[in-house]
Structure 1
């Protein structure tokens, strides 16, 4: 029982029962910018519906439950038969079903599909990031499967279905299917060419028997997986179904689930193949080339996921400081706290704006846009995902001690924040991929320079940053040792160009001053005090 002295005052109310999409002004502006006028009304209505779902108290509670009750591995049934199944809390299935139903695996071939899906993915990540993993891989499997028209015709309708069918049975009996991926092995990690899993051809053309292991297999409860293995002709991509057409289980031994820092609602496993049936995707020896389309799509989802996490962290911080009073006034009105919040808001808006621009390039599909994606996706994946962790930590600090308590939700964001920087190729892999594009694909750099050049003359700090970048690009001798610095500048200049063209003047001015003009410090909250920081913070306030 509460004592007579226990009166609760000056606490921010929970950030619930709001429209996560409509409350995000930067995201709404990006959707309005990139969706064709004839698609905008219907698209915005659907996104707003998802936003209200994401902001509801019930769905947010599902996110808490899915993380507090992580998946459990069940290797055998009660009779001793090996089943290798993963049991999830009901909240996980509810969240995943909502994500599938919202079209988060159904972007390909739809007008404006990638922009709509990207915005939805960014919104849905703010509820619970773990279920984004199977949604992302299912979405991203489509370009890899399209290297084999017969496979694509068979599987694509299942992958792009908006029906979540969790039953473990042959895929041809299901109304929707999910895909996982298994690339890395113990001895190789990101160096997939060091994989040792072998693929022995069978009598039926295009079918193989796999023997080996995968150190990380994401979403092991999925209906099928794209994996890499060594065939007689070299490293090759394969489709591995969980259940064979006759209803028998494929040999897919889950040895254990990873005990991860964050992303705890989602299962990541170590798996063994021993005479496991699989079907070749693409040519023998072309495994990396076949699966690269899937990798690129999942890397963009890493950018979107980080942008969503940053947005939720900033929304929580601004919401708290808007309601909390200290030292004679609202925290949001204190000059130093306003500077911190504005700095965080800049990072969030820059991430959202860049991620949505890349999604629009996927929708366009033209040669110029494809060339831009070749350099912009790994650069964005490198930079945006690395900015997520410091944003989440600083946002949690804005709540003081409350931000360190699990009930606030901030610790879950902090634990989740490093993930996207590691998955789908960590920082060095992304930096080296950008260097590869610079050396081998001159059209990629040309497309990038055309994009950032659209803002030349609008801000002297951006112009100076472009000039300095060109100087760095002119000297690629020994560039590997400074690749991170170069890729960071590529991402910042691209973000600056987009904000100068599309963001409110106060946002673009502050970003160019702090990120390009050298007028900001290493820590958040060091923006020039002469900027219009109040307007930057107000734009980030989660009010719809």
Structure 2
């Protein structure tokens, strides 16, 4: 009998049909990143920026659009490239970016993420900007570096009014111009920062770059700088705030890429750094070979003069890491809402619910603290309490939120499983990005030492901290116990540096718990307090105690496609 006709052989049309694609997720794209984030919308309202809701809805639609997310992938797939000379041998120090990177820069600047609190300083301005930053960074994080530095440069530049009058109008303009041309030929400018040197790192007082006066010395005067800057992020910015030594000590300078006469300033890019994350943004090693610069503020007070810029960039590190948490959480929630195992959706299985809800608590707490600090920035000029809170909690929040992000990204990746480590998904990029903010603008130890410095120099910051927590006194036994223990611990003068991380961690958790008790639903706030403030708790995600309404927490946080 013919084997093909005996009833045992397969029909030929089955031979190429190996499987049907079932039980898989889909791209989280084509959704409104703002309207689908209930916790963020509530925070914007709560912290004083309700007037920005309509604009944030529009921007959220852009940030969650499929094309925007695809451009984010492209900006990181095609890294910037350095051309030190043109083909004729002229020094150009030109960094070329993929067009997707320029799209993000243009969108950020047109949205005002680089300057809106300075150009429109109304109540809630910092909150609205932080919310926009939080949304845009979810799609692409690298462009945030030059946007942040441009934003943060204004308070320092204003220490030198003559320079501010000349530069600020173009810095704050909502015009992005990436051309490598002098300031006079551009409508919009971006500002970078060049502080770190290889021998000192965070210890900028060890810098060896020197500044030599061209004529008269002093604030606002021209100098020539000679030295080597080991980390200069966004080298295509139009000018940089930097530090250099003068006879009176470390001083602050504004260093442009072009001299006023239209010739190229000898700020020479030696190489681009090979980073594990933040790929779309160029970071460089740069030599200053007599580069022209203007002194900003009082001579010898460089650190004090630039510290406001550093404080603002640290705040944006909080927002950026919170944003990374939100996107990692969104990816995990979206996947688990579509993928089934053992006869049930992953998001409906108790153990996975424990993990997802725990990740959601961490994300909302990080965002809530970031937005509260945005309100403190808005109100600090009129409130001593807000000023003190800003001084202390920026360092506390920067330490804790940025420190928690890498583990959060990893756990979200594990929720997705094998597909989460594939390079054609967003998760590897989020994971590589996750440690960046913890290291940039002062590592964890630097933040903790800054907290100790603030409490030592300005003891009233401690009182402001406890005054803030008093708003929720008696509402949760776990928080009450934490606050009481903290009060005793802060009175202990022994081995303060050795204990600093432990103390700062407990301060961050207490503040996050208090904020959630004030602004989040009870099922969120109570779960956070029970899981984070109980000394028997675990810092591994997925260990929430009994009694937590995990399903409600997950439903609150899950983004839905339009």
2:11 is matched with none
Q: CA deviation at 1:245?
A: 1.9
* Contact 1:168–1:243 (8 Å) recurs in 2: no
C-alpha distance in structure 2 between counterparts of 1:157 and 1:322, whole Å: 48
C-alpha distance in structure 1 between counterparts of 2:551 and 2:457, whole Å: 45
Q: CA deviation at 1:204?
A: 4.9
C-alpha distance in structure 1 between counterparts of 2:16 and 2:30, whole Å: 31
Alignment partner for residue 334 of structure 2, among 299, 316, 319?
319
Structure 1 residue ranges (4+ consecutive) displaced by more than 6 angstroms after TM superposition: none
C-alpha distance in structure 2 between counterparts of 1:508 and 1:248, whole Å: 58
SS at 1:525 equivalent? coil
1:72 is aligned to 2:85? no
1:279 is aligned to 2:303? no
1:175 is matched with 187
Q: Please, what TM-score do these two structures have when normalized by structure 1?
A: 0.98
* Count of equivalent residues: 540
SS at 1:164 equivalent? coil
1:123 is aligned to 2:123? no
Alignment partner for residue 247 of structure 2, among 232, 244, 251?
232
1:407 is matched with 424
1:377 is matched with 394
Alignment partner for residue 25 of structure 1, among 28, 32, 38?
38
What does 1:103-502 correspond to in 2, within 5 Å? 103-106=112-115, 107-108=117-118, 109-111=120-122, 112-204=124-216, 206-365=221-380, 366-502=383-519
SS at 1:279 equivalent? strand
* Contact 1:309–1:417 (8 Å) recurs in 2: yes
C-alpha distance in structure 1 between counterparts of 2:419 and 2:399, whole Å: 31
Greater CA drift, 232-241 or 437-446? 437-446
* Contact 2:399–2:447 (8 Å) recurs in 1: yes
The CA RMSD over aligned residues, in Å, is 1.3
* Contact 2:94–2:180 (8 Å) recurs in 1: no
Alignment partner for residue 511 of structure 1, among 528, 532, 550?
528
C-alpha distance in structure 2 between counterparts of 1:78 and 1:408, whole Å: 38
Q: CA deviation at 1:476?
A: 2.0
Q: CA deviation at 1:218?
A: 0.8
* Contact 1:163–1:176 (8 Å) recurs in 2: yes
* Contact 1:519–1:528 (8 Å) recurs in 2: no
Encode CA deviations 1:308-351: one digit per residue, 9 max, x unaligned: 00000001101110111110010000000000000000000000
Alignment partner for residue 64 of structure 2, among 30, 55, 58?
55
* Contact 1:182–1:228 (8 Å) recurs in 2: yes
SS at 1:143 equivalent? helix
C-alpha distance in structure 1 between counterparts of 2:243 and 2:541, whole Å: 42
C-alpha distance in structure 2 between counterparts of 1:282 and 1:127, whole Å: 37
2:8 is matched with none
C-alpha distance in structure 2 between counterparts of 1:328 and 1:379, whole Å: 44
1:94 is matched with 103
C-alpha distance in structure 2 between counterparts of 1:163 and 1:45, whole Å: 22
SS at 1:406 equivalent? coil
SS at 2:337 equivalent? helix
* Contact 1:339–1:529 (8 Å) recurs in 2: no
Encode CA deviations 1:153-182: one digit per residue, 9 max, x unaligned: 222222221111112222233211101101
C-alpha distance in structure 2 between counterparts of 1:336 and 1:529, whole Å: 12
Encode CA deviations 1:68-127: one digit per residue, 9 max, x unaligned: 100000000000111111000111101111111111112225212211110000101100
* Contact 2:83–2:93 (8 Å) recurs in 1: yes
Change (3 A) 1:3 1:162: farther
Encode CA deviations 1:244-274: one digit per residue, 9 max, x unaligned: 2221111111000000010000000000001
C-alpha distance in structure 1 between counterparts of 2:305 and 2:175, whole Å: 27
Q: CA deviation at 1:21?
A: 1.1
* Contact 1:519–1:527 (8 Å) recurs in 2: no
Greater CA drift, 27-36 or 495-504? 27-36
C-alpha distance in structure 2 between counterparts of 1:259 and 1:530, whole Å: 47
SS at 1:348 equivalent? helix
Structure 2: tracts of 5 or more residues without a match: 1-14
Q: Please, what TM-score do these two structures have when normalized by structure 2?
A: 0.95
C-alpha distance in structure 1 between counterparts of 2:371 and 2:146, whole Å: 21
Encode CA deviations 1:14-39: one digit per residue, 9 max, x unaligned: 10010111111111111011125xxx
C-alpha distance in structure 1 between counterparts of 2:439 and 2:126, whole Å: 24
Structure 1: tracts of 5 or more residues without a match: none
C-alpha distance in structure 2 between counterparts of 1:470 and 1:443, whole Å: 14
Q: CA deviation at 1:529?
A: 2.7
C-alpha distance in structure 2 between counterparts of 1:498 and 1:491, whole Å: 11
SS at 1:217 equivalent? strand
